Amino acid sequence: MSQWLANLRVRFLGLVLLAVLPALGLLILSANEQRDRAIENAQAQNRRIAELLSAEQGRVIESTRQLLVVLSRLPEVRSAGPTCPSLLAELNAEFPVYDNLGVIGRDGDLVCSAVDPGGPVNYGDQPFVRTTIDTGQFIVGEYQPGRVTGNPVL
């Protein structure tokens, strides 16, 4: 009789397991679908954030170009005379998005700076400076440590 009961228990457990397996499968499938949707939503949100940041960076670059055009027409800046550093320092205080404002001569030397460089600084080895000097065009370089402030600059 005990053999018969043991056999009955095994069959009963098998039947219960057979009944639970489809529900377990649906649960796993549903969890996978939810995970996939969460991943898709996160990727879409990351794309939107990247697009917003890119648009904002574009606006900053265009504003910078406009500011540089205006600055390039000011006699104090063109001559890099004694009032140039104080003018750039005032503007730098007004526009905190900029780490520094400066004027680079044709030889690559920093001839005027809002932030005191503490000694001679030359940018002649920078490709964006050479291209700007050669073409006279507005050029956007790459992020790198600033030579005057040490902070990342573009």
Are 91 and 85 spatial neighbours (Cβ–Cβ below 8 Å)? no
Task: Give how many domains the chain has, as a whole number.
Answer: 2
Domain boundary among 56, 73, 90: 73
68 lies in the same domain as 87? no
pLDDT at 138: 82
* pLDDT tens string 118-136: 899 898 888 888 888 888 8
Residue found under tokens 């044709």:
106
Which parts of the chain fold into alpha helices (H)? 2-72, 75-79, 84-94, 127-135
Arithmetic mean of pLDDT, 138-152: 75
Question: Based on the domain organization, do 109 and 136 belong to the same domain?
Answer: yes
Q: Is 147 exposed, middle or buried (0-12, 13-18, 19+ CB in 10 A)?
A: middle
pLDDT tens profile 59-69: 988 998 999 89
The answer to whether residue 119 sits within a structural domain is yes
pLDDT above 80: residue 6: no
Residue 5 in this model has a pLDDT that exceeds 70? no
pLDDT of residue 1: 59
What's the confidence (pLDDT) of residue 80?
A: 87
Whole domain around residue 107: which residue ranges?
82-140
Q: How confident is the model at residue 4 (pLDDT cuts 50, 70, 90)?
A: low
- Average pLDDT over the chain, rounded to whole? 87
CA pair distance 135, 37, nearest whole angstrom = 50
Q: What is the pLDDT of residues 39-56, one digit of tens each?
A: 999 999 999 999 999 999
In a domain, 57, yes or no: yes
Rounded CA-CA distance 56/40 in Å is 24
In the block, tokens 């009789």 appear at 1
The reply to whether 150 falls in a domain is no
Tens-digit pLDDT profile for residues 86-113: 999 999 999 988 889 999 898 989 999 9
Same domain, 54 and 119: no
> Would 147 be classed as within a structural domain?
no
pLDDT at 81 over 80: yes
126, burial (CB in 10 Å: exposed 0-12, middle 13-18, buried 19+): middle
